[in-house]
Structures are given as C-alpha cells and as structure tokens.
Structure 1
C-alpha cells in the first residue's frame, strides 16, 4: 500500500510538470502588470533559494529593493533551510506550484530534467552575454542533456579547504614539516604525547575529523594518498566505487587504526560534529586541522591568537602516500539554478535578466559588497570601509547561497586587506595542484537515490568498527560484499551506463 501511494505521488509530480495553468497565470500577471489599464508595472518574480545559519533576508531588505528598482520587478525570495529544501520542492511540484526561479539539488535535477520542468536556457545565451562570459562552457554542459542547458551551475571552489599545522608546536618538539604519511603519523603522535603546549597535561591531539552523512569528512588527504577514489575512481574507462576498493581500504584503515591506538587521532572522532575538529584547533587542543581559507583569516586565526598570542600556523601540503600519491579535499558542485518552463515568457525573460545582472560587473560588485553608503563607504584615499549594516543585513547572500561567477575571490570584499586576499589565493593555488576529482559527480543512478543512503550507513558502521579495532580487518571484504548484494551492484551498472554516455 505504501509503495503504491509513493508511486501515485511520483506520478502526480511528473504529471504536474506538463499541466499548464497559463490562463490563470496570464490573468493574474496581466492584472499585476497593469496590462488591462495600460499602465506598465514591475514584473512579479518568485524565487526559492537554499538558506543556512541565520536564515535569509526579510521581504523589505534593501538589496531586494535595489534589485526591484534596477530590473523593474517585484522579487519575492523564499529562503528555505537546506535540510528541508528537497522535501518542500517536491511538495510544490506535486501541487504544480513550483517557483519561477529556483535552486535544485542533484537528485531532483536528474529526476526532473527529462520531464519538461525546466526552461532550456541555451537558445537565450546570446541575449544574456554575462552567462557565457563568467560561466565556463564545461560548467554549462555539466549534468545537462547534450545540446541543452536546463540548469546553470552553482559555483564552488572545488579545492577550497586546506590543511593547517601548528608550526610553533613543531619547533618546540624539534620536528620538521611532515612530508609523507609516515612523517605525518609520527608528528601527530608527538603532538598528542609530548605536551606541545607546555601545560603539563595530556590534553592535545594530533588530528581529527568528522563523519558527515555517513562519509569521512576532511580525511581526504589520507584517503587519496592510499589510492582510494573520491567516492568513485576510474580504471580502464570504468568507474569503481570506493566501497569495493578492498585492498586500498585495508591499507587506509590500518593507518587510521595505528593513529587511533597511538593517540595521534582524537579518540572522540566517531561522535564529532562537523565543526568540532576546527573548534579543537581554535582552543589550542589540536595540532593539524582542515580550514576554510576565508574563514581562517577572519575567524580561526584571530581566535587562536586571542588565547595563544605566540601561536604560529602554516599550510601543510597533503602528505605523500606509499606510492607518492597526494590529494586534497575536492568537492564538485552538483547544485543547479533553473527556470520554470511552465510560466509565461515575460517571467522567464525577467528571470534570465536577473541571472545575467547578478553576473554583471555592477550586479556582482553590489551583491558581493552591498550598497555603497549603506553597507560600506569609499574613503578619500581610495580605500573602502565596511559599515555595521554589512554584518546585520548580510547583503552578500545571493552570491553566497544562490548564484555567482566562477570566481575563487567571491568572498573577498573591497575593504579586505590586500595581503590577506593574496594569501587566500595562494591557498587555493596550492590546493589545486592536488585535486582529487570524483569522476561520477553528477551522474544519475535511480538505485543510488533509493538505496544508497541505507547502504552507505551500513557500510560505514562496519568501517568505523574496523578503524577503532572492534572488528578485524577481514571484515572489509564482507562490508564490500554486503554493499554489492544490497543494491551496490546495480548502482555500479547504472553509474557506468551514464558514464559511458559522457565518453561518446
């Protein structure tokens, strides 16, 4: 019965994409736009975007007012928390009430891109030149059917996060910067056992990480060094999932277990929340951690310096694995921005105008830095000064959470110290040398969507028990076999079928 209900709901969602209620829409739009009385008015456009900590803007936000005035529209933004975003979007789809313009996650985009839900933007690219000037051709084709542009990319600096190490701890213990994984383990163990902060207590750890959605988070530099794929790896034009790389997993888990037993690895890592390792670094209890470069200079380093003024932190290159492999955190963005295909052309063109404006020199500057006189001032010496309203209004949310150029400097403001900006770019340039791509990013697998999360949870439960010594290393083989039996084999087939299409 439940399965039938779900099937009916899915059918309603898909059918909803083909049901046009244009008469109602046009009547409503004409009334709003003043067509019946001959008065030209702003076009109403509703948009739905992800929101994170702090939520989105109120309706009367100065940035919305500015956009309305610039583009002759009345923009309404539904800022929806990322945790409930997909659920809400599916409810709106079932009732044929999708927004005019919205963000969409990978699974929903792949599910709906063949249903007529999204406007094909490709025919309009020449009319809106900023979309091609500031978005790379490969980003426009990524995940879209050949010859179509249904979704525009949400840009992420894919190799953003970097490793940081306490240089002052190295100096106190007479240790060099670690080069290899063996060096790394020796250094991390010394940080845990040799009192690097000099307080006479055994209260420091070498490194730590967290588990996010049943996946290792900020352990990429060790995983890739042992030859593991970033979820998937390509071998002879075929993709192999990390869950079945049993030999590489055994080498990796042997290393993690050694680190755990020696004290080099924080004993609390299985229960860590996302930011816990960074908090340990900021409190002076962790010697090596991953950081976000922008936040490192504005938040992390000042926090460390307040408690430990003599602390010295430097970037640590990814340590070399047994065969010389090095890798860094690499996250391919699979989020998309789409326009509703079933709204009238006036709204579609207004949505395209908004997207083009957000990438223009004027629009991009304003949505990064805010409005001059409200969020910052231009000083007589040519410099800029941030005003308190920037922190309270958060005018940068559209570039942070919705749509932006392919620009690694997206979070560098006019008033930021040029030397800090230079150091942040150096982080990114260094990280890019050790990119660890996922060759299956964006590929669709119905079985993965249905069974993948449960399979991953079961697999990770076994892997963690092996890592802390509760299960023998031989259980890696059984974990891989169980993953295959539970639906993993079908996932492999579906992903490879999609992958072969990209090679044609």
Structure 2
C-alpha cells in the first residue's frame, strides 16, 4: 500500500506539479501563482532542514512524502524534516544547539523561544517581512510582537484560536425531561441543578448510582475546568486590572466562592469522587460516567460520541455556551497566537533566506494551505463526478490528517479551518466552524502571555509554588480543610515568592505597555 502511495505521488508530481494533480493554478517559470511576492531565482537547488515536535503516530517516516515532493519541485529545494517526539523535544534542542549547527527552521514553544531568543541564534525577520505580504498578514502586529524584544521579530507566530467549549449528554437531558439551556439562560446555578440531576436521577436508566454531573483534573490549578473558573471570575492564569497584571493565586474572594461551589459538588456526589487522580477526561466521557464534558472541542466530541455509542447507542455530547456567573462573567479558554513560533536560523545565507521566506509566504497562502493541509489531488483525495471530494484508499489506510502534519505541527495560517478538509462532510465542516465561532464569543485569555517567563523567580520557584497551592485547593474540595483556609494559602504563596513574581511580571508588562 505504501509503495503504491509513493509511486502514484511520484508519477503525479512528474507531470508538472501544479497542473496535473493538485488542481491548482500553474505557476510561471520559477514563480508562484499564489503569492504576491516577486519570484526569486530558483536555478540553484537549496537544502532546507526543519525540526518539529511530533505526537501520536509520529512524523512521516522519510522525506519522500508527496507533500514534501511537491514543495521540493515547486521551490527547487531539498526539504529535510526531522520529527522529534514531543516528550524529548526540549532535550533534543539542547543537544542540537550545543553542536553549533541549528536546523534552518524549528517550531518552538514559548519557554524554548525565551530560552534562546537572546543567544543570537534566531533570524530577525523584521527587516524582510514587508517583502512577503501573505506571511506578514498571518498574524496581527501584537501577535508578531509577543515574546520578542522591542523592535525585533525572531519568530513567525503559529495561529491558535479558541476551540474548546462545554458539552452535555443530550440523551441524558432527554431521559430526564430537561430542555437544553439557551445561552442567555445558562447560569452557573442552572449548571449545578442539571449536574446534580445527572448524579441523583439515574440519567442512563441502568438502575445504578454510577454517574456524575461533572469531573475535574487533579494535576492542574485550573482543574481542567476553565469555563467554571471563568464563571466565578477567576483569571485564566492572570488578568489585567487597573493597568496591572493580577495572578489567579491572589483572588481570595473569587477562590472562596469557587471552592464553596466545588466542595458542595464533591460532598453531594455531583463532582466525580475520583477527580484528584484524573490526568485526563477521555476514559470517563467515553465510558458514559459523566454528564458535562468541560473544555472539549468539536472533533473530540465526535470521537467521544463514537466510543460512547458502542455502550450507549443513543449517547451523544452536544455543545453549550459556557455558564454565566453571578457577576455576569463567562468564558472559554483562549490561547494566544504567537506563544508558539517557527524560528529561522540566523546562519543561513541570503539565497537560502530568500528561498525560505518565499516558501513560507506561499505556505500560508490559500494555495499553500490547500496543498499542505489537504495534500495532493489524486494521491490523498480525488474529485467525484458530482464535484465533491473523497479521500483515497491510500489515505484512509494511512489515516485522515496524516497528510497535514506540516500544517498542524510546523506552521499554519489564520484561516478558521482546523481539521476541515476538502472531503469533510458538509455538516461536519459546518459544525466544526460553528463550534470555533461560538468559542470565540467568550474570550478568556491569559493576560500574562509574553510576560510570565520574564520573571526569574517564576522560572525558579513557580512550579513549586503552584503545586503547593494546588494541594491546598484539592484538600479544601475534598473536605480536609475549610474553604476560608484558602486565604492562608494565598498569603503563603505571596510570602514565599509570589509577591516577587507579581513584581517582576508587572515590570516586564509596564516596559512593553
């Protein structure tokens, strides 16, 4: 199967890359039909090395993938991708850096970026960006500036958007005769009423008291419940207030209200009794034990529904808006574009730099997105007689999404098309976009993005302080400490380094404001 897949790709690419297989407008000699940048001289083949983290399934096993072949031919490059398992990525980057030979492009997270940005190893893209308008418009100016020294742009922002929402077991609601709550009526009190019914009224009709309203995670201060934290006015890490950044650890009154709610839920069995040992929600959602799925995205909801329906044929999670708190607050976790970046090596010569930026300018254009996300027509998908598209058998065998690793794991543009492909079912694509649009309605950003890592105290003590704070939160919820003891926990956090973190973060914030 794999040999046939690669063979067909090679045949397809031999016949004039753009015209024969991709269905795209053919580029002129050495040019690019999808970019407004004047084409450069591509007579010399240039080797380009890129390194990125990989997750489940790993990266492509070699550099002969059809998408790489397409890029190689289009830009006369020899694109070499090094996929590194995410768990080992930071270690690998240290080794590569120590060798003195950095790859031409690396995808890094904010911690890695800040560790290396002042070491003089990344290319400042600022002087060249105006020549590549598609690439320049991949992010807003403030997203480009995020984490960078003033006046410098040492990395290309990788687009991120709110995707996660609150989901509920629609079949359980129907079994209990409960209507799905409308967005403007869904208060935190209504959330609790429904969650308690899921615990006490046998929503799965199996005659057993084995269901919970909602669950939580015991390994994170957010407890895996950002929509609930938002309803109680607790920051998504940090919030801006009166021109200063305020950490969630100092919000005493908000924590008292939230922990009162969570402790009651635990005592009444509304909150999953085993939540402290949870590291993810996947199993309990799929096993039909929990009624509300908090911080879930649409694609995962559909995967969960498929798993769920193997034991509960009518089981189905559907999306709701986040609950409204007494202060009118609501939100869904909103990442910042720019906390992930594609950085380029400063050591590349002018020819390689121009070729690289021209390639990346195309990469985030509509034409580039089509190829890098959907793959090659005739290889990964084919057009049917009715004008719609379908995956090829080869891609079905390899797995949907495997053709788009460069898009998902290296660099993506700002189109609202996460995991939507040419062959996606219209209803699925429509619901996916709708879910992302809904999540964007309730922004809940971390105001410290770009500033927190500038705190030396946070770098040295932040995790230990957070772990100790979390331990108190878990003990309060489980009834081992009174709710008001959170005020002592806050005082302890501040005294043992928290106040210094706040001071250092705000110094960095004021310097960039």
How does the TM-score come out when normalised to structure 2?
Answer: 0.85
Whether 1:186 aligns to 2:186 is no
Residue pair 2:305, 2:316 contacting (<8 A) in 1 also: no
Q: Partners in 2 of 1:424 and 1:395 — Cα distance?
A: 19
* Partner in structure 2 of residue 446 of structure 1: 456
* Partner in structure 1 of residue 341 of structure 2: 336
Provide the secondary structure at the position in 2 that maps to 1:329.
strand
* Partner in structure 1 of residue 156 of structure 2: 152
Whether 1:353 aligns to 2:363 is no
Residue pair 2:333, 2:445 contacting (<8 A) in 1 also: no
Q: Partners in 2 of 1:121 and 1:264 — Cα distance?
A: 52
Q: Partners in 2 of 1:172 and 1:105 — Cα distance?
A: 45
Whether 1:126 aligns to 2:130 is yes
For the structure 1 residues 460 and 139, does the alpha-carbon distance in structure 2 shift closer, same or farther, using more than 3 Å as the test? same
Residue pair 1:386, 1:415 contacting (<8 A) in 2 also: yes
Q: Partners in 2 of 1:289 and 1:468 — Cα distance?
A: 21
Pairing partner for 1:279 from 267, 280, 283 = 283
Whether 1:54 aligns to 2:41 is no
* Partner in structure 2 of residue 162 of structure 1: 165
Deviation of the 1:490 alpha carbon: 1.6
Q: Partners in 1 of 2:124 and 2:231 — Cα distance?
A: 41
Residue pair 1:376, 1:387 contacting (<8 A) in 2 also: yes
Deviation of the 1:129 alpha carbon: 2.4
Deviates more, 1:428-437 or 1:165-174: 165-174
Q: Partners in 1 of 2:102 and 2:464 — Cα distance?
A: 29
Pairing partner for 1:413 from 398, 418, 421 = 421
Provide the secondary structure at the position in 1 that maps to 2:172.
helix
C-alpha distance after superposition, 1:325-382 (max 9, x if no partner):
1111222241111111123223322322332221122221011111111111111211
Whether 1:499 aligns to 2:495 is no
* Partner in structure 2 of residue 243 of structure 1: 249
Residue pair 1:153, 1:336 contacting (<8 A) in 2 also: yes
Deviation of the 1:262 alpha carbon: 0.8
Pairing partner for 1:224 from 212, 218, 230 = 230
Q: Partners in 1 of 2:230 and 2:141 — Cα distance?
A: 28
Pairing partner for 1:258 from 245, 253, 264 = 264
How does the TM-score come out when normalised to structure 1?
Answer: 0.87
Q: Partners in 2 of 1:451 and 1:346 — Cα distance?
A: 44
Q: Which runs of 4+ in 1 moved over 6 A?
A: none
- Point out where structure 2 has 5 or more consecutive residues left out of the alignment: 1-41
Deviation of the 1:95 alpha carbon: 2.9
Deviation of the 1:197 alpha carbon: 0.7
Q: Partners in 1 of 2:139 and 2:244 — Cα distance?
A: 29
Q: Partners in 1 of 2:475 and 2:314 — Cα distance?
A: 39
For the structure 1 residues 217 and 128, does the alpha-carbon distance in structure 2 shift closer, same or farther, using more than 3 Å as the test? farther
Whether 1:385 aligns to 2:390 is yes
Provide the secondary structure at the position in 2 that maps to 1:395.
helix
Provide the secondary structure at the position in 2 that maps to 1:215.
coil
Q: Partners in 2 of 1:413 and 1:398 — Cα distance?
A: 14
C-alpha distance after superposition, 1:228-265 (max 9, x if no partner):
11101122111111111111111111111111111111
Residue pair 2:457, 2:501 contacting (<8 A) in 1 also: yes
Deviation of the 1:78 alpha carbon: 1.5
Q: Partners in 2 of 1:169 and 1:70 — Cα distance?
A: 53
Provide the secondary structure at the position in 2 that maps to 1:143.
coil
* Partner in structure 2 of residue 203 of structure 1: 210
Q: Partners in 1 of 2:449 and 2:66 — Cα distance?
A: 37
Pairing partner for 2:409 from 393, 398, 401 = 401
C-alpha distance after superposition, 1:43-78 (max 9, x if no partner):
111111111111111223222222222221111111
Deviates more, 1:353-362 or 1:217-226: 353-362
For the structure 1 residues 316 and 90, does the alpha-carbon distance in structure 2 shift closer, same or farther, using more than 3 Å as the test? same
C-alpha distance after superposition, 1:440-464 (max 9, x if no partner):
1121222222221122112111211
* Partner in structure 2 of residue 458 of structure 1: 468
Deviation of the 1:41 alpha carbon: 4.7
Q: Partners in 2 of 1:180 and 1:125 — Cα distance?
A: 46
Residue pair 1:340, 1:348 contacting (<8 A) in 2 also: no
Pairing partner for 2:480 from 458, 463, 470 = 470
Deviation of the 1:40 alpha carbon: 6.0
Residue pair 1:63, 1:395 contacting (<8 A) in 2 also: yes
Provide the secondary structure at the position in 2 that maps to 1:396.
helix
Deviation of the 1:312 alpha carbon: 4.6
Aligned residues: 460
